[in-house]
Amino acid sequence: MATRLDTKYAKDPRKALRGLGALEYLPDEAVAQLEQHCRWVYLKPGQRLSRSALRETSCHYFVVEGQVGVVRSPASDPDTINLKLDEGVSELARQYVTLFEPNDSFSDAYLGLRARREAIDCVALRETMLVSIYEAGFNYLLDHNAAWRAAVAERAAEHRSRYLKARDPATQVVQDFFIHQNYNLASTLKVIDLDACIGCDGCERACGARHGVPRLKRDGPVLGRLSFPISCRTCEDHRCLPACGFNALTMKDDELRIDKSKCVGCRACFDACPNSVITMIETPYASDDFPDPMPNTDLEGRTNVPGLYLVGEAAGAALIKVAANGGVAAAQSIAKELAPRSGPPGVHDVAIVGAGPAGLAAALQCQEAGLDFVLFDKGAFAKTIHTYPREKVVMAEPAHIPKYGTLWLRNTNKEELIQKWTEVIETTKLQINSFESVTAVTKGADGNFDITSDRGQYRAQRVVLAMGNRGMPRRLGVEGEAEPRVEYALTDPEPYDGKHVLVVGGGDSAVEAAMSLADFGAHVALSYRRDSFGRIKGGNQSRLDEYKAEGKVRVVLSSTVTRIAPGKVVLKTTEGPLELRNDTIFALLGAKPPTAFFEACGIEIIQPKTPAMAALAKTRGTRFYANKCDHCAGFSDQACIQACPTGAIFEVQPDEVFIQRDPISGVATFKTEPFVEGLTERAGSPALRKVASAAALLAVVATVLVGLECFARTVMPELSATAWLAPHMGWSGSITFEAGEGLGFWLGIIGMSCMGLTALYPLNSRLGWARRFAKTRFWLALHVVAGLMGPALVSYHTMLKLDRWPSVGFWAMWLVVMSGVLGRYAATALRRGRGVSALESESLQSRRAALMERAASGHGLTQIARLDDLLKDRKRRHNVLLAPITLPLSTAWSWLQVTWHNWIELRKVADPELRRHVAANARSHRQVLDRKRILETLERSAGMWRKIHLGLTVTMFGIATLHVVVALMYRTG
């Protein structure tokens, strides 16, 4: 099956070559020669150039479209490497040497060369089209075109500069991270600065609150001081978009959106997404999931007529796999019902109407169960699929077929699917009454069914209707429609080469038919009654725009057919009648569902938005739908960014984080500063930080002054502020400080109120007035200030007399403060430290790889390579409770292993300077890995403090409330 790029560049290869920037300085005659001798090489994502069937040796390649990574590939790698991420983790850790992008060129001379224990290879990082030319031809063009030779040399020098800068170990780590995480495909991404993030998960909760389920996962890949949440990056190649066959995934305003109501849960987009950011959500069926009238059936296909089953598309199973499963379920249910007895003579066990996927699966299951059945189809088997246009993709996942096994087809076109079904029928020797149309099904007095066809009468104990949902095609309803040139399905566009064809309709079938006819040389006009194509897939809309711009399809919107005359057709348009020359008309207006036939059989048809439909939905169990971040399209803000109390999460283009350009040469290289220094200037609001800092400082000063006043009143009343103010304010009496009177009493009340205010931060997402009053970051600032000021004031109130029962609340109060600091800020610092340690570890590993390349082959190289096994970060987690014992033991064992290897094994390395560098690198790497393990363990233990923080908070408020009530009772009494 031709790929998108094959089709794109097959139209006009010379134009494609002429548009390639790398060939800009070649004269037209040289481009013409190149067209005759070059070869187009298509690579799908993950495909290795060395394993491509189109690759020839001693060639030079130009990247026309896509992206190629030069990688050190283990010998065990398959022909096509899996580049799909799993929860932010790539399948294998390979080291990418460099990248080739459009207009770059390279030789294949190094393919297969050994680098350490791996081979150098080229891997397509996305759909890629290359042009290859033999080295001799390439050198000939260089020798005879001086301007082009200079341009190629300049481009090669630029790429070499990029490559040499990426040789720095830290830069190499950033490059590997960029490619492994597929950020080379992204047009946008979310970033969390770990210096600002407090790990509250407010971003996830806000996303879930707005959309019903979270579309973002905060805990994503970490490099240095930056974390990257698992969220849609709006890939440049949109692999999920063409995978959807039900128009549930569309592109609108440069954003990919999923229409939940149209999603059938086929997982095609889930499988196509290279970043695993699409999730499948299970949810109960609801009445809104059935917008059209539905026959009354259960999960096994039973209708309200006992013994009569309805399966397949008409029962709501739009997927081939689901339809086949429905046919199997119905046949299995019938087999259980009929197992104890056999039917009377002349009566079949089962009659199956329709030989589509559901009917064929039901028949094969009946055959497997030993039931006597008869299978009808008004045409050939799978008639609906036969009517699809040539090479239409019709299946996206495997299905299990009885007596055959798994029908494993992925992105399969019509012809391949029909061929596979033919193989199934021949293998199982399935008998089909083809071209026999069933006209009536009625239930007799004896409980058996009478089946009437255009060839005769049949009787059966059970009937399975699997006839699809297309019924009769909708007609144009105009003069001349009875002419033979009016057709209602396109099966093969080739016979219409050179004909004038009108396609009527605005769905995907009509648009695909129009483009298919144009591809085979027909003069095509497409008529649609509306002013835009609002129901077609985004991919079809893009292709149609291209065909329209190229003059291959004439699109006539807001038009209807009014008359069909010999050799012409008349359309009514907004500008008046339009007469078109015409040989054939395809009226692709959809089809009327066979509702009347079902009602004649006695099946109840349930109308949408009725109590009966709601009851039917409850019996259907659950369904799946795809879910992904659409960057809150349709809203004025993004929930996750708006909800972050510290402004730690923000959205940027990948180049802002990963790429820097030389101001003079313009050469792009990877930068390391954001990962080492963070992006604090992008995180949070500078104005809010200033206000929060000023408020915190003011609160601290006020609290300290109040504390000094309390101390002075207790120890030296004459030096207190009250003593100084008394003469001026006319106060009299002695100056004292008591917990239950005057200032001491009110300090307790104010301190308790401050601690009560801290509850507004965790509750603000649930309190509408709080969200309207201020943003989350304001409530966090209040939480911190009040959470420190309140306990201080309460401490003054107690006068540190902790010999009575309320002192339990005092200790709980300060434990709440300590646990909050540990759970929030310490955990953030630990996570940031772990990220920095991981960056250092990767840099040291990259530096050791460079040292290995300096070593000559032999026993010494083997000893250096063995350090990879000794220093491999095995991600072994230590139990938090046992960590005080296991961590020192693990650290000591690691030190012993590396020290032994450095002193004994590395002596076999002949070069003393190399030996010293390797030993120093190993010591540093061991220390970094040990520090990383310690930080990971401490981070998990700090996470436990959050739960302790909540428990202590409840205890504190309980005791404090009781204390206040008792104090007030005592005071008023």
What residue spans define the domains of the chain?
4-163, 189-286+625-658, 294-471+595-620, 478-591, 703-801, 826-945
Nearest to 98 by CA among 856, 676, 864, 667: 667
Dist CA 731 CA 722 (whole Å): 9
The pLDDT value recorded for residue 893 is: 75
Task: Output the CATH code of domain 294-471+595-620.
Answer: 3.50.50.60
Structure tokens at 792: 């201080």
Averaged over 240-244, what is the pLDDT? 83
Dist CA 72 CA 93 (whole Å): 10
Residue 574 has pLDDT above 50, yes or no: yes
pLDDT tens digits along 88-135: 544 445 778 888 888 888 888 777 555 455 678 888 999 999 988 888
Q: Which residues does residue 741 pair with via DSSP β-bridges, in sequence order?
A: 738
Q: Is 797 left (phi over 0), alpha (psi -120 to 50) or beta?
A: alpha
Q: Which residues does residue 442 pair with via DSSP β-bridges, in sequence order?
A: 450
Architecture of domain 478-591: 3-Layer(bba) Sandwich (3.50)
Dist CA 39 CA 41 (whole Å): 6
Residue 665 has pLDDT above 90, yes or no: no
CB atoms within 10 A of CB 409: 18
Q: Which residues does residue 308 pair with via DSSP β-bridges, in sequence order?
A: 463
**Residue 117: DSSP 8-state:** T
Residue 361 has pLDDT above 50, yes or no: yes
- Rounded to 10 degrees, what is the CA torsion of 533, 535, 537, 538? 50
189-286+625-658: CATH topology: Alpha-Beta Plaits (3.30.70)
Q: Give CA angle at 795 (790, 801), nearest 5°.
A: 155
- The percentage of the chain sitting over the pLDDT mark of 90, rounded to a whole number, equals 19
Structure tokens at 919: 């030993």
949 and 761 Cβ atoms separated by less than 8 Å: no
Residues 6+ apart with CB under 8 A from 235: 182, 185, 186, 187, 274, 275
Mapped onto helix, strand or coil, the DSSP state of residue 114 is strand
- Range with the poorest average pLDDT among 366-370, 610-614, 833-837: 833-837
Structure tokens at 599: 């009602």
290 and 316 Cβ atoms separated by less than 8 Å: yes
Nearest to 466 by CA among 663, 272, 317: 317
618 and 284 Cβ atoms separated by less than 8 Å: yes
Helix/strand number for the chain, H first, E second: 32, 40
pLDDT tens digits along 917-954: 777 777 777 777 777 777 777 766 666 666 677 777 77
Residues 6+ apart with CB under 8 A from 322: 264
Averaged over 320-336, what is the pLDDT? 87
Residue 634 has pLDDT above 60, yes or no: yes
First to last CA, the chain: 91
- Annotate 427-458 with DSSP letters as a single string: HHT---BTT--EEEEEE-TTS-EEEEESS-EE
Nearest to 761 by CA among 745, 747, 740, 777: 777
Dist CA 922 CA 930 (whole Å): 12
Dist CA 538 CA 258 (whole Å): 12
- The percentage of the chain sitting over the pLDDT mark of 70, rounded to a whole number, equals 81
Task: Tell me the CA distances in angstroms from 431 to 99, 331, 334, 885, one per residue in order.
Answer: 57, 16, 19, 72
HSE of 140 in the Cβ direction (CA atoms, 13 Å)?
11
Name which residue leads in pLDDT, 51 or 664: 51
321 and 360 Cβ atoms separated by less than 8 Å: no
The pLDDT value recorded for residue 91 is: 47
pLDDT tens digits along 468-480: 766 678 888 888 8
User: What is the enclosing helix (H) or strand (E) of 214?
Assistant: none
pLDDT tens digits along 689-718: 677 678 778 888 888 888 888 888 888 888
The pLDDT value recorded for residue 668 is: 76
If pLDDT is split at 50, 70 and 90, which confidence band does 604 have?
very high
If pLDDT is split at 50, 70 and 90, which confidence band does 1 have?
very low
Q: Residue 76 corresponds to which amino acid?
A: S
When computed from its CA atoms, the radius of gyration of the chain, rounded to whole angstroms, is 37
- Range with the poorest average pLDDT among 246-250, 255-259, 432-436: 246-250
239 and 251 Cβ atoms separated by less than 8 Å: no
Residues 6+ apart with CB under 8 A from 518: 524, 547, 552, 553
The pLDDT value recorded for residue 973 is: 52
Residues 6+ apart with CB under 8 A from 580: 500, 502, 525, 568, 569, 570, 571
Residues 6+ apart with CB under 8 A from 632: 210, 638, 639
If pLDDT is split at 50, 70 and 90, which confidence band does 84 have?
confident
Q: Where are the alpha helices (DSSP H) in 265-356?
A: 268-272, 320-338
| Highest mean pLDDT (candidates 253-267, 675-689, 737-751, 925-939) | 253-267
Residues 6+ apart with CB under 8 A from 815: 948, 952
Nearest to 177 by CA among 841, 690, 885: 841
Burial class of 636 by CB neighbour count within 10 A (0 to 12, 13 to 18, 19+): exposed
649 and 203 Cβ atoms separated by less than 8 Å: yes
Q: Which residues does residue 191 pair with via DSSP β-bridges, in sequence order?
A: 650
- Range with the poorest average pLDDT among 6-10, 25-29, 240-244, 484-488: 6-10
Residue 353 has pLDDT above 90, yes or no: yes
Task: Tell me the CA distances in angstroms from 11 to 4, 736, 859, one per residue in order.
Answer: 11, 96, 56
Mapped onto helix, strand or coil, the DSSP state of residue 89 is strand
Q: Residue 75 phi/psi, 5° resolution? A: -60, -25
Domains 294-471+595-620 and 478-591 share a fold: yes
172 and 846 Cβ atoms separated by less than 8 Å: yes
Q: What's the pTM?
A: 0.73
Averaged over 752-765, what is the pLDDT? 78
Q: Give CA angle at 328 (326, 333), nearest 5°.
A: 95
4-163: CATH topology: Jelly Rolls (2.60.120)
Q: Residue 957 corresponds to which amino acid?
A: F
